[in-house]
Amino acid sequence: MGMNELRVDSTLVVVPWTDPIVDEVGFDVFSRYAEMFWLPIMGPSALWIMRRIVMGFADFPGGYEMDTQEIALAVGLSFTQGANCPFTRALRRCQWFGAAQSVQGGLAVRIKLPPVSRRQIQRFPISLKQSLAAWPVESTDHQQLVERAKLVASALITTGDDSDLLESRLTRIGIPVGIAARVASDLTGSMIADSATAQSSP
């Protein structure tokens, strides 16, 4: 199924796009890098559609059937049948820029975005080119991932998720295994310490 053959009906099957190279060197779709350098390329609607789809992989790591109207409304777009629908146009922008690809029966979506290309950078304003040139990839993006992992883990615990499943839940949404393991361990240890303190209190 080619890009122009993507059929967007009331539901669409979406699955994670596994790419060993991009998954290793790429940037989380929720990262500041994506916000600063991919948003002006894809457009805000396309990036937020990606993020909403990837959020669903936390519960359905193998993929799921997406309610297109629900996702469209969640990112502030209308949805009607047809190629000129704002939601469909934004979804196709994900394809045009290599963030998603048609697969048999649906759409594969990246969990991580690759570094922007030299050709894409040429259209950036000077200030954005300077920001990219000075981007401290390892330290800043690593810290962004740690902070995101902490927020997601805390939210999962708050909503009643089993603490033993934290690490696997975090890795399913694109958090690197090392970061997921450390954050899960730290949060679980903190919970055990709090519980012990509460039990020892008179």
10-residue averages of pLDDT along the chain (202 residues): 63 92 85 93 95 93 93 87 82 94 92 88 91 69 75 75 73 73 79 53 55
Instruction: Give the separation between CA 48 and CA 164, rounded to whole angstroms.
Output: 30
Is-contact 97 45, C-beta < 8 A?
no
Residue 160's pLDDT is 64
Q: Name 182's Cβ contacts closer than 8 Å, sequence gap at least 6.
A: none
Is 69 exposed, middle or buried, given 0-12, 13-18 or 19+ CB atoms closer than 10 A? middle
Give the tokens for residue 51.
């993020």
Instruction: Give the separation between CA 187 and CA 65, rounded to whole angstroms.
Output: 32
Residue 197's pLDDT is 53
Q: Any alpha helices (H) in the chain, and if so which ranges?
A: 20-25, 32-33, 39-42, 44-56, 68-74, 86-96, 118-121, 126-133, 137-158, 166-172, 177-200
Residue 2's pLDDT is 43
Q: What is the CA radius of gyration of the chain?
A: 19
The reply to whether the predicted model has a pTM over 0.75 is no
The residues facing 15 across adjacent strands are 108
User: Other CB atoms closer than 10 Å to residue 184's CB: what's the count?
Assistant: 23
Cα–Cα separations (whole angstroms), residue 18 to 23, 66, 93: 7, 19, 19
Residue 119's pLDDT is 85
- Three-state DSSP state, 188: helix
User: Other CB atoms closer than 10 Å to residue 35's CB: what's the count?
Assistant: 15
